[in-house]
Amino acid sequence: MSLTAAALRRIAVVVQAAAVGGLAAALAAGADWSWPAALLASIAGALVAFGIGVAIAFLVTRAGLAIPDSARPQRPDDIPAPGPLSWRHAMSCYLAECRAILRMFDWLQPFRSRLTFAQPTDPLPDTPTVLLVHGYGCNHAVWLDLAPALAGAGYRCEGIDLTPVLGDIDDYAAALLARMRDLRARTGHPPLLVCHSMGGLAARAAQVMADAAGESVPCAGIVTLGSPHRGCPLATFGAGTNARQMRWASPWLTNLAEAESPAMRGRMISVFSWHDSIAGPADTAWLEGARHIPLSGIGHVSLLRDPRAVQATLDGLATLRKQPAATSDSALSLPHGNASARFM
């Protein structure tokens, strides 16, 4: 039996607390510090170490280490060139990302995962349910900050937990497709999907699986937030099958892209940040045939709660609601690659 993301996060919090307590005890016993001073110094040391780790993630991601310049795609026509980021805005982006990581990983996921999403008091008429799909190593609780804005705009929301934590994205896609079928059966509409990071890859794979099985279009559209559609350097250091699949230009990602149709891409909106701290550099989020909403000065985890990312998500959903419903990718698309149910 594998541990859930919530259980793993609770263990991580306990380990962090034990490390801080152990260091404080060592300072109190070995250096004759008072307990308050030792504890404060230990907490400060842990926060500094954490901050250095976040800074390194930003630097590695922005630099696009291990990605040759020849492999970098050209910027799509619908994406304007980014403007410079001042030192003040860069520091604000960094501090906001630190706060978001601590909130998501040390509070919401381990201790608030039993909460349900806010629901609209005045639902939009004849509108699909929004299915929220989390990213790598997470659970549905990462959406607790964004869900109230969706409810305020009239969207009904549901979440899904992709398990096991370090599993195969193809298996996540199968579970996601089953959930989409269930939502369609219950509501009469295929859902709209909002996906963070790896969740966007699972959604893309689920579309291909449905098409390969000869099924109708499984969703009304997909908004991805910081999804590494082309892979990212930091995935090289991640654990699990899913991390290997998310490496830059991995065979899994290559096969997935070859299996997609233009119609599938046409139902997608990729929201990304020029200053993503994990799923970057920014060109990893560019997807030919999809629409793009670029943001600036927002880290990877901050995309789940920054007001600009929330508004971009609402704008993306509004755009997808206006497009005509599709019944079959095969009927709407140009010839495309082998739509295998698995991509490895």
State the pLDDT at residue 106.
97
Which is higher by pLDDT, 146 or 328? 146
213 and 301 co-located in one domain: yes
Query: 4 vs 1, 11, 165, 302, CA distance in Å?
Result: 9, 11, 7, 23
pTM: 0.93
- Distance, in Å, from the CA atom of 135 to the CA atom of 199, rounded to the nearest integer, reads 5
58 and 122 co-located in one domain: no
262 and 125 co-located in one domain: yes
pLDDT averaged over every residue in the chain: 92
- Distance, in Å, from the CA atom of 282 to the CA atom of 73, rounded to the nearest integer, reads 10
What tens digit of pLDDT does each residue of 199-248 get?
A: 999 999 999 999 999 999 999 999 999 999 999 999 999 999 999 999 99
**Range(s) of the domain holding residue 53:** 5-66+82-102
89 and 212 co-located in one domain: no
- Distance, in Å, from the CA atom of 198 to the CA atom of 130, rounded to the nearest integer, reads 17
Q: Judge contact between 102 and 142, C-beta under 8 A.
A: no
State the pLDDT at residue 107.
98
187 and 325 co-located in one domain: yes
State the pLDDT at residue 342.
63
Cα angle: 114, vertex 5, 187; to 5 degrees? 55
State the pLDDT at residue 339.
40
248 and 136 co-located in one domain: yes
In terms of C-beta distances under 8 Å and separation of at least 24 residues, what long-range contacts does 241-245 make, across chains too? 241/166, 241/167, 241/168, 241/169, 242/136, 242/166, 242/167, 242/168, 242/169, 242/172, 242/198, 243/136, 243/166, 245/168, 245/169, 245/201, 245/343, 245/344
172 and 27 co-located in one domain: no
180 and 245 co-located in one domain: yes
What tens digit of pLDDT does each residue of 123-171 get?
A: 999 999 999 999 999 999 999 999 999 999 999 999 999 999 999 999 9
Into how many domains does the chain fold? 2
pLDDT confidence of 314, banded at 50, 70, 90?
very high
- Distance, in Å, from the CA atom of 309 to the CA atom of 283, rounded to the nearest integer, reads 18
Q: For residue 54, tell me if it sits in a domain.
A: yes
State the pLDDT at residue 340.
43
- For the ranges 70-79, 94-103, 249-258, 259-268, the lowest mean pLDDT is seen at 70-79
296 and 171 co-located in one domain: yes
- Distance, in Å, from the CA atom of 304 to the CA atom of 144, rounded to the nearest integer, reads 9
281 and 153 co-located in one domain: yes
Q: Using the 8-state DSSP alphabet, how is residue 105 labeled?
A: I
Instruction: For residues 293-299, give the mean pLDDT.
Output: 97
State the pLDDT at residue 119.
93
Q: For residue 75, tell me if it sits in a domain.
A: no
Phi, psi of 5 (to 5 degrees): -60, -40
pLDDT confidence of 53, banded at 50, 70, 90?
very high
Question: Considering the chain, what percentage of its residues have pLDDT values greater than 70?
Answer: 94
